Structure 1
């Protein structure tokens, strides 16, 4: 809206420029950042702790300062995305080394200026974390919005499965889709991607171990030994271009679940919900 209707965001009504995205791993926080950058046609700076932290004293503070200075010089809008911000901004303690304190002080200074000064008005700061409760309160306070990116619900999981299998031959009924979405409660977006890839390889694994084959439209497919057209042979003995796998079924996904389980627990979700009630809002 600020780009489409700039006259609505004048005076003290200024758009948020410092936003924290938090939630379980694999929920698409990094993809959201990239999508935002594309939507507003901006220069996108994607940064991680590895880019900023240096073993040389003073270099880390210099890196963060130069990053914001470079973004300021751009005439176009700039999005600075810092992933895994918790690795840079953990709660401070008395055992912290002096150069770490200086780095955090410099980062706080640069964050505070985003959206508050004319020189940094073209910068949008977006950060992401899987552990928001580990952030130092001073950093947490700098974010004008703290948005929870939750796990996909049942309908979203169903859509993700269909996206990941859109170019695949499937033998699925509506009941199969519903069952798959139901069985994958607590699966993140990346969990679903990994599970689907594992399921897509199940027909290939069956071909590798198959001892009996049938011919369908001139192609060889694995079959049971009792099939009336069963031919005893192995994959290595068949013409490479003449073999095809079975269509992917719900059974293949269930088999894949044995090695691709969910990575988020109910206890993890409770932590996120408790944090959201205190500091954030649902995205």
Structure 2
């Protein structure tokens, strides 16, 4: 699912699957706004995308209708009265003519703002648009979109309308029309009226949440590994409360080493820690450091730490597969071993003063082979915390299944579609997946998802994923590892 998120007049605007919207509008009109809160005097906005039936010159038609009237006796309705479109407006006019000071103050207070807004939209405040008046125009020059603005007969609705030839229309045209609609709202209200609000333009009344990526993972999403998660939370707390650390003269960890078998989630845990801290995530991979030219690797590692000392926001630096960068037993005499020894030596020097130079940086290193890393490099003072990330036990595997399945359901189940059957036995799945890692469990789920997708592609339907199918995928994967 493609989501475009941007800011407009201080509002967060989300446009969901613009290309799909345009494709669907060829067949039936698509309504895009659902349950939004609008600033007074705007009560609601209807935005529809449709297609003309003219086969000779087909076009996409964008229409927005801004309702500015109100039924309850609210500030919105009072403004409607001032505009003269509410029946009670006649009573107000009569009261003003009779010298009623309350009615006069009311009109004086909101009349100027209403008049200014309607002048911007090309309408007369007191009488509405003249019958023969040409409509106003809002335009987005960047994409060449022009929206005609007119006033509907009942006086409370302003309409924007634009057409784009079907062969020329793009997602940019839809985005432009959305911003023109919001511009009209601002013209009716005030420049800061949208600030802090959020608007979603989507085919669905409640658009499904975006699938969680590793960039968005948090410690709450980690299945199993209770002790590991608890220790990482403690590190995060030390980052988020520097005043308490300073008061007690406590020194938070500068470096963290995570080690364990492949697929146990060390990199994911590093991202989750960064998100828990609220830190930027900077991953340094082997090719960024090791250089075939003499002295190149040393220069690279120095530059990485030179940059780290200048970071102005909390940052987690991850050295993944750390052993491949600084593996060294001190005995190698060949050129490759000497180069690694030199990199390890520079790394030690740079780590020694990093926390004093920039306390907002934490270094995390992960490895599958801790025995390949020189002990002096990862001693306390450089890597203060060392965490073993083991393969999950039976209870942890069941918890991993639970959290992964919940994530898939949240991302994909909508509109009556069911992804998983009701009778899933997570405990049995935890038992059946003995020896598997979190990465293995994710792969087992991927295989079942792929099988179901192919069934639907071939036959037009597929039943929800059952316990038997999950167990079969687990057994198949265990037989291949």
TM normalised by structure 2 equals 0.44
Query: Which residue pairs with 1:276 in the alignment?
Result: none
Instruction: Say if 2:398 is the partner of 1:161.
Output: no
Instruction: Give the whole-Å Cα distance in 2 for the aligned partners of 1:18 and 1:136.
Output: 15
Correspondence 1:41-120 to 2 at 5 A? 41-90=278-327, 91-97=329-335, 98-115=338-355, 117=356, 119-120=357-358
Deviations 1:109-142 (A, max 9, x none): 1122232x3x233321111111112211122313
What's the CA shift for 1:74?
Answer: 1.8
What's the CA shift for 1:72?
Answer: 0.8
| Larger Cα-atom Rg | 2
Instruction: Say if 2:469 is the partner of 1:252.
Output: yes
Deviations 1:161-185 (A, max 9, x none): 23333245223425x3321111112
Instruction: Give the whole-Å Cα distance in 1 for the aligned partners of 2:441 and 2:292.
Output: 37
Instruction: Give the whole-Å Cα distance in 1 for the aligned partners of 2:383 and 2:334.
Output: 23
Deviations 1:159-212 (A, max 9, x none): 3223333245223425x332111111221111000011112334456678xxxx
Instruction: Say if 2:344 is the partner of 1:127.
Output: no
Residues 66 and 183 of structure 1: is their aligned pair in 2 closer, same or farther, counting only changes over 3 Å?
same
Which of the pair has the greater relative contact order for Cα pairs under 8 Å at 6+ separation?
1
Residues 13 and 39 of structure 1: is their aligned pair in 2 closer, same or farther, counting only changes over 3 Å?
same
Instruction: Give the whole-Å Cα distance in 1 for the aligned partners of 2:456 and 2:243.
Output: 63
Instruction: Give the whole-Å Cα distance in 1 for the aligned partners of 2:480 and 2:350.
Output: 35
Do 2:316 and 2:361's aligned partners in 1 also have CA atoms closer than 8 Å?
yes
Do 2:423 and 2:466's aligned partners in 1 also have CA atoms closer than 8 Å?
no
Number of aligned residue pairs: give it. Answer: 229
What's the CA shift for 1:258?
Answer: 4.5
Do 1:18 and 1:124's aligned partners in 2 also have CA atoms closer than 8 Å?
yes
TM normalised by structure 1 equals 0.72
What's the CA shift for 1:99?
Answer: 3.0
Runs of 5+ consecutive residues of structure 2 not aligned to the other structure: 1-236
Query: Which residue pairs with 1:170 in the alignment?
Result: 420
Residues 136 and 77 of structure 1: is their aligned pair in 2 closer, same or farther, counting only changes over 3 Å?
same
Residue 138 of structure 1 aligns to a residue whose secondary structure is coil
Query: Which residue pairs with 1:6 in the alignment?
Result: 242
Instruction: Say if 2:432 is the partner of 1:183.
Output: yes
Do 1:202 and 1:252's aligned partners in 2 also have CA atoms closer than 8 Å?
no
